[in-house]
Amino acid sequence: MSAQKRPSLIVMARQLRGYKQGDKVRILRGALAGHVYTIHQSSNDWVTFKETRSREVMSKGNVEPESGFSEQELIEAGRVVEKMQKKA
pLDDT in tens, 55-75: 789 999 999 999 999 999 999
In a domain, 3, yes or no: no
Residue 41 near residue 19 (C-beta atoms within 8 A) = no
Q: Is the pLDDT of residue 2 over 60?
A: no
Q: What is the CATH number of the domain that holds 53?
A: 2.30.30.30
| 32 contacts: CB under 8 Å, gap ≥ 6 | none
Over residues 32-37, mean pLDDT: 94
Range of the domain at 59: 9-87
In a domain, 58, yes or no: yes
Q: Is the pLDDT of residue 30 over 70?
A: yes
Q: Is the pLDDT of residue 40 over 50?
A: yes
In a domain, 73, yes or no: yes
In a domain, 20, yes or no: yes
In a domain, 23, yes or no: yes
Q: How many domains does the chain have?
A: 1
> For residue 86, what is the DSSP state?
H
Please tell me the predicted confidence (pLDDT) of residue 23: 96
Please tell me the predicted confidence (pLDDT) of residue 55: 78
- The span from the CA of 39 to the CA of 41, in Å, is 6
In a domain, 41, yes or no: yes
